[in-house]
């Protein structure tokens, strides 16, 4: 199969792996109340396992991304797939809260990092045109997770104990992800490692990795992604529990995730197409502004129809913005360091995601209400907009410039 065609196989493989990986991790909100009722562990305590997972993702993202730059994407993604399945299986056998937090947080969270950044970096290398759309389609796999894995987890746990349910999720992850990881290949431009350092037309081709991570462009991308993810992490993680607290049955509440995920798929494709046409940075700023006010839509939600409306708007917006970071990174940094650069932005995003689960749990335990969680999300969203507006791309004429002494 020609490279022109096989690049879409890479997109499909990335989307499927992302769907199962993220969906397996985000099955925890579905298990949140059943675990608490069965074990007596607090909602905040169980939620903190997700916070630890995001911290582990943050630490692991740049490490896995750098490793993928050196040894290739396939072995890194394959290792991640094995560890995700093993981590969920081990977490299902936890007999104490601290054991559950450590296993789910460190193993599952750390191994998820081996999927997202390496796959996004790999895809950017396969596409010179339609790049925003390609990374958006890979990211759409995450949008499929609430439509597939979350309802599946809810259905499983309706007839099985939570421990058995998590074991089943672990088995599904292994069966789907491990064979799919074998389809992943290096971008053609990086197949020859000697040629990889001198790819024609590269942005900032003479830039060293040290210069890249110290640049204002890289730091601004990190800060923007942190506040962006801090905006939507709480609403994503606690929406099911919020809906249940409003009297909506669990099975029905989980369908809110499906609506959000379906809308998110449309958002990723729409923002990808618009990013190719109008520029990734311009669409990112617009999306971040809409995301901030979209978070407030949940404050008024009490019945299922309002939850659906709020989730559709919020999912379309936040999901649409996320792939644009990879497109912006590829426009400004060399392909040979994409794993590290995108891994760095993923690290910042994971730290932002870590704020929501624990903050939401603490807010609910303190006030028996999620209102202030969404107000906090709005504030984080405005911060993301202000930071993104300061991003300045590298001047085009620096593409072949000699390295600047550090």
Q: Considering the domain boundaries, does residue 267 fall inside one? A: yes
pLDDT of amino acid 272 = 82
pLDDT digits (tens, 9 = 90+) for 40-57: 888 878 888 887 887 888
Q: What b/e string do you get for 365-381 counting C-beta neighbours within 10 Å, with b at 16 or more?
A: eeeeebebbbebbbebb
Helix (H, G, I), strand (E, B) or coil at 370: coil
Q: Is the pLDDT of residue 115 over 50?
A: yes
Q: Is the pLDDT of residue 397 over 60?
A: no
The token duo for 308 is 């659906």
As a whole number, the mean pLDDT across the chain is 85
pLDDT of amino acid 220 = 95
How far, in Å, CA of 155 to CA of 152, rounded? 5
pLDDT digits (tens, 9 = 90+) for 264-277: 888 888 888 888 88
Comparison of pLDDT for 120 and 173, the residue scoring more: 173
Residue 21: pLDDT band (50, 70, 90) is very high
Q: Is the pLDDT of residue 199 over 70?
A: no
The token duo for 316 is 């379309």
pLDDT of amino acid 204 = 62
- pTM (2 decimals)? 0.70
For CA atoms 264, 269, 272, 277, give the dihedral sign: negative
pLDDT of amino acid 87 = 94
Q: Considering the domain boundaries, does residue 257 fall inside one? A: yes
Q: Is the pLDDT of residue 164 over 90?
A: yes
Residue 29: pLDDT band (50, 70, 90) is confident
Q: Is the pLDDT of residue 347 over 50?
A: yes
pLDDT digits (tens, 9 = 90+) for 220-259: 999 999 999 999 988 888 888 888 888 888 888 888 877 8
Q: Considering the domain boundaries, does residue 197 fall inside one? A: no
Q: Considering the domain boundaries, does residue 398 fall inside one? A: no
Q: Is the pLDDT of residue 182 over 80?
A: yes
The token duo for 120 is 């996004």
Q: Is the pLDDT of residue 123 over 80?
A: yes
The total of structural domains in the chain comes to 1
Comparison of pLDDT for 228 and 403, the residue scoring more: 228
Q: Residues of the chain with pLDDT > 90: what percent?
A: 32
Q: What is the CATH number of the domain that holds 327?
A: 1.20.1250.20
26 closest CA partner among 108, 137, 119: 108
Q: Considering the domain boundaries, does residue 396 fall inside one? A: no
Residue 402: pLDDT band (50, 70, 90) is very low
Q: Considering the domain boundaries, does residue 402 fall inside one? A: no
The token duo for 83 is 């560890």
pLDDT of amino acid 263 = 87
Q: Considering the domain boundaries, does residue 395 fall inside one? A: no
pLDDT digits (tens, 9 = 90+) for 54-109: 788 888 888 898 898 888 889 999 999 999 999 999 999 999 999 999 999 999 98
pLDDT of amino acid 404 = 40
How far, in Å, CA of 103 to CA of 120, rounded? 26
Provide the residue range defining the domain that includes 139: 3-186+205-390
pLDDT of amino acid 380 = 93
Q: Considering the domain boundaries, does residue 198 fall inside one? A: no
pLDDT of amino acid 196 = 47
């Amino acid at each position: 199969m020609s490279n022109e065609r096989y690049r879409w196989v890479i997109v499909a493989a990335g989307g499927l792996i992302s769907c199962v990986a993220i969906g397996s991790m985000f099955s925890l909100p579905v298990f949140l109340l059943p675990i608490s009722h069965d074990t007596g562990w607090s909602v905040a305590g169980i939620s903190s396992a997700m916070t630890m997972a995001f911290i582990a993702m943050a630490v692991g993202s740049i490490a896995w991304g750098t490793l993928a730059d050196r040894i290739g994407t396939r072995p890194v993604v394959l290792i991640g797939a094995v560890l995700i399945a093993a981590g969920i299986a081990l977490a299902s056998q936890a007999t104490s809260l601290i054991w559950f937090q450590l296993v789910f947080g460190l193993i599952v969270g750390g191994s998820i990092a081996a999927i997202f950044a390496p796959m996004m970096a790999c895809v950017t290398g396969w596409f010179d045109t339609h790049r925003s759309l390609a990374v958006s389609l890979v990211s759409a796999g995450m949008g499929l997770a609430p439509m597939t894995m979350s309802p599946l987890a809810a259905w499983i746990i309706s007839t099985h104990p939570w421990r058995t349910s998590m074991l089943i999720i672990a088995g599904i992850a292994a069966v789907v992800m491990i064979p799919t990881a074998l389809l992943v290949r290096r971008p053609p431009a990086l197949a020859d490692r000697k040629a990889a350092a001198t790819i024609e037309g590269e942005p900032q081709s003479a830039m060293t990795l040290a210069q890249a991570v110290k640049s204002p462009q890289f730091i601004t991308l990190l800060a923007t992604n942190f506040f962006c993810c801090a905006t939507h992490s709480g609403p994503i993680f606690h929406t099911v529990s919020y809906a249940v607290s409003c009297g909506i049955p669990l099975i029905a509440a989980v369908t809110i995730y499906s609506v959000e995920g379906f809308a998110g798929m449309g958002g990723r494709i729409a923002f990808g197409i618009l990013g190719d046409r109008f520029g990734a940075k311009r669409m990112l700023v617009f999306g971040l502004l809409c995301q901030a006010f979209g978070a407030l839509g949940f404050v008024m939600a009490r019945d299922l129809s309002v939850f659906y409306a709020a989730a559709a708007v919020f999912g379309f917006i936040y999901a649409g913005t996320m792939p644009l970071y990879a497109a912006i990174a590829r426009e400004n940094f060399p392909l040979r360091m994409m794993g590290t650069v995108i891994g760095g932005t993923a690290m910042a995003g994971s730290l932002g995601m870590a704020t929501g689960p624990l903050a939401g749990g603490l807010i609910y335990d303190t006030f028996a209400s999620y209102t202030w969680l969404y107000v906090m999300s709005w504030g984080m969203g405005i911060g993301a907009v202000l930071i993104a507006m300061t991003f300045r791309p590298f001047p085009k004429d620096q593409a072949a410039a000699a390295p600047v002494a550090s």
